Structure 1
Amino acid sequence: MTLFRQIYSLLLALFLIIIISISYFQFHATKTFLTQQMASDLNNTSTSLGLMLVPELEAGNPEAVKALIETLFDGGYYQQITLTWLVGGEKETWSNPLEIEDVPNWFISLNLFSPITKETIITSGWTQLAQLEITAHPGMGYNELWKSMSNLVITIFILFLFALIVARISLIWLLKPLNNLSIYAKNIAKRQFDPKMELPKTTELKEVVQAFNLMSAQLKKVFSSLNDEISALRRTNLVDEVSRIPNRQYLVSRLNSWLSETSSGTLFMVKMDWLADVHSQHGYQVRDQTIRLLAQEIQQQLNTLSPSVIARIAAYEFAFLVTDIERDVVNKYLQTLIRTINQEISKAGYTANEKFAIGIAERSGQMNVSDILAQADNALQSAISNNKIFYWYESHEQILFTQVQWRENLISAIENKKFTFRLQPIQVRNTHEVFQKELFCQLTLDNNIIQAGQFMPYIEQLSLGSMLDKCLLETLIQKQLLILNEEPIVINLTHQSLNNTDFHQWLNTFLKNAKWGKKAIFDIPEAAVYSNFETCQTLCNIISNNDACFGIDHFGRQFGSMSYLQKLRPQYVKLDQSFTVNDDNQHNMELRRALVNIAGELNIDVIATGIQNTEQLNYFKSLNIQYYMGFISPPTDVVF
């Protein structure tokens, strides 16, 4: 029971005790007064009637006696009158039934008034004429007592209602600071640091509020310090000091993560020998300033075309990773890159289209980091040796379908639901029990199974993401996959669905009708959070409002503040695979630990991804991660 209800109940109980006590004493006093009044009236009536009857009794006139008694009796205040003639012994009785108007029978049946009887001997001198016995009628007592108690009860009831309202309003007002303090404390427990609470007027509560404000400020500093620590570690370990863009280490980690995903893309490697001329002619300070301005201009021009990873990987070499875009956009990206470099060359006073070269390699088939870097470097060396501005590494991989064929096949597959599913377990660190299962899909075309890594890039390029997600979610309903599995299932949404407000509305209706509850979990990539936070927040609210859950995928990949975790409050974060590699670099180890700690401070579970062997798992156990996944427990086919 809440404190409000306890105090409220206590006040009401005390009020009821007071009211009952007052009512009891009032009832007892009224009853005693009415009894005494009836006894007094009866005594007076007996005396006066006796005096009135003396002449008639002496005269022996029974008719006159009877007339006098009946006149008195008809007043209705007496229940019974008995007159006994002492001379002759005649006896006569007058009686009234016990009927009382405007008083309920149950009240009369309580027998609150005992019969009051007065006996009198009527005498004349020393002669006894008759015996008069009068019994008072209790009707007046019941009537007056009923009226008095009815008015008292009505008055008390009105006062009680008034007291209820006043007590409730007063307690709400008095306990409002305490209620606000409770909400504030819950927010602190959720690591939501609200502005300082206003100090109440109550001295005791004022001290408590001051203590909570101080505690909130201290915890906020702790979270901010962790956020600053991550930023500092990234700047130290993953950012080139001169250009202030990512360095080679960050590029390699991103390549590792990118090649492990179902994605497509192109890697550009650029060598700028004209920067060496700047160094030899003007010194390293001018060179560094030129590199910094060049990096800023390149970022500004290229990121408007497509989000990409731009890194300085050597003194005069840069790399550009462009993912999930069409070949036409890649060509436009290339032309913009060449134009931007030429502009900076011209500003430095050198000749355009000279002393720089670009090597281009596309992702194809199963590649690792060494493969893609080697292809890009070979293309770069070919461009330099042939004195060309750029060279495109030719892949000998056979093209499965043209873009038009991909569109036809994918639309047909979506409409006819030709997808099959695989589930990969997400396991508990210590017990290895299955915590969740992540859903992967594959496509059957011409009796061939096509993995998601082959068709998903075309899904994004052809803007079929929302269609695919709707198809997969509807298939899950038809196949009752969430019902057949005991564990929750993690669903990855495409980038198009994340930014599509129409899909948001459809998903809201779908989840309300599906009533999956917490068995449905949706992965939100961190890149989408940074690129369009408001849209992602809207989608996360839709998921939460339908009692489903969501988590952040590729956690730690993007540069930026971790404050979005406080606003979105995901159930978990999946550590990016670029952090899975167990190296001995002290900065890398500190960055991993800081990422895990900042999630832990917000009570958010951490899932290590890409775990391939026991050695990797043991390393992440030391970081106190809660769950893990990877090909240490590979996905399995779903059989319906």
Structure 2
Amino acid sequence: MADLLQQGLKIAALFESIINSLPTPVFVKDKKHRLLLVNDAFCELMERKRGELLGQIDYHLLNHEAAEVCRLKDEEAFASHEAIVNQEAFTTSDGVNLTLQVRKMVFQDDNLGSVLCGVITDITELKHYELQLNDANEKLKLILADRTHELANVNEKLLWMANFDPVTELMNKSALTEAALSYIQRADSSGGKFAMVFLDLDDFKFINESYGHPVGDALIKAVGNRLVKVIKERGEVARVGGDEFMLLVSYQDKAEIESITKNIIRILKEPFDSNQHRVFINASIGIASYPEDGSDVITLAQHADAAMYVAKKNNRGGHQFYQEAYTMTIKRKLEMDVYLRDAIKSKELEVHFQPIFKAQDQSIIGYEALARWNDKIFGSVSPTEFIAIAEESDLILPLGELVIDHAVQFIEQQCQKGEYVSINVSPKQLMHPSFKSYLIKQLKHTSMDPKQLAIEVTENVMVKMNEYITQLIQQDELQGIRFFVDDFGTGYSNLSQLKKIQFNALKIDRSFVKELPHSKTDISLVKVMVLMAKELNLEVIAEGVETQQQMACLAELGCQYIQGFLLGRPAKAKRQ
């Protein structure tokens, strides 16, 4: 018996030695909340000797509020006979506030009955970090909310830009095409009719050159407003080009269209007061009816265009309904196709180079290669006209190769280190296998650095061919070549497409530059485009910069590079 007692005392001493060696405070209480056992760490925490603690209750050691919390938790543990964990506040003698995590569990002792064992962990530092983390998370949530809202606004503005003309706030060509499809479906289901009315302002270029673009744009906006008043709820009005409008008008008989067209001509002949200038203008109008003059949007548009061409040629300032004979207007295009083919083959076409400048110091950083054609028969042909003809045939491929040849030669002979030349590429070029192979051939057989060549595709091409363009950019043989989005803001791209395709730069369309710094709308839109480009790590080039005020405004908005007549017109390469 003595041996068992002796052994029990040794075990008790060993147990006491073990709990005293623990770095965390440990205590044992009876059901009257009296301390029966404490370890050294607990004494150190309470800053008292063991003898001063044993037999004491919490109300003798802590303030009343803290002691009450301890008592309630003790009672909860005794009642449940399950381990509970709670946090308790504790203040040291020198005023340091601690947060303690206390784990309490009840045990049964043959002599003492139910006893409560508590283990204390100081989690003050952990709570501090937790508060910091929570604070950081709240700040991050605010930042993310702001950025999400900002990007949502950008997307909303991009969607608007995709469907509306920024000058007139009317539908653009893309939106009108969708509307025309709806008109066709509605006419097919109801047996109704509608007309596509193509309106081109006469001598608008002369007004632009005489009074400047601000007056020209104000005139365009006023024309749009008058057209809307005439059409009202009977149709749709869209601006589809610089001085071109397209209308969709439902009707029962041609007399209605005749009346509406005469009203348009009459109301447009009234003077326009624009920026302290009184301007007079006429419009030539072509009309194609569905379904008589075409069963699809493209045919209707072509026939309305042909009728307008006849009106402008024979009845300037008047209107003309489409007739089958007007397809002769295509004859010029066919003839021009033949002459253009010969011009490309004989290399009569020229390539001019327009410099691109840093907005900050006006130093040249690159050039855009631009095809020019001065024919013996047709005279100086607009690039818009002959490139459109080339795109409709297979001529765009040799024309594109001719431009590439001139660009590479210019890079090798006249470009300084770090300067590049950009070339415009059409969808047909992009899709043709010879385009990629021709580029690779140029890179392999010339001394040109790939970084000195840039490919420009329009925003609409980017949207329609984003997967193909992505594959092209990722070609190992074409690594280093830059890719630009041209005419940005006139198409209907979105952030996800721009993010997916690894472009190097956006070229803001000249239509957003014309009214700077006077147009608040254009300032907002350019600001949005620059912000979006910055988020996507893209350079920004503004096209059509013609005044010092435009350049200063663009620089203030964060646009890095500019291109336009102000600093440099397209010119032939210098002869070596």
Q: TM-score, normalised by structure 2?
A: 0.50
Q: Give 1 or 2: higher strand fraction.
A: 2
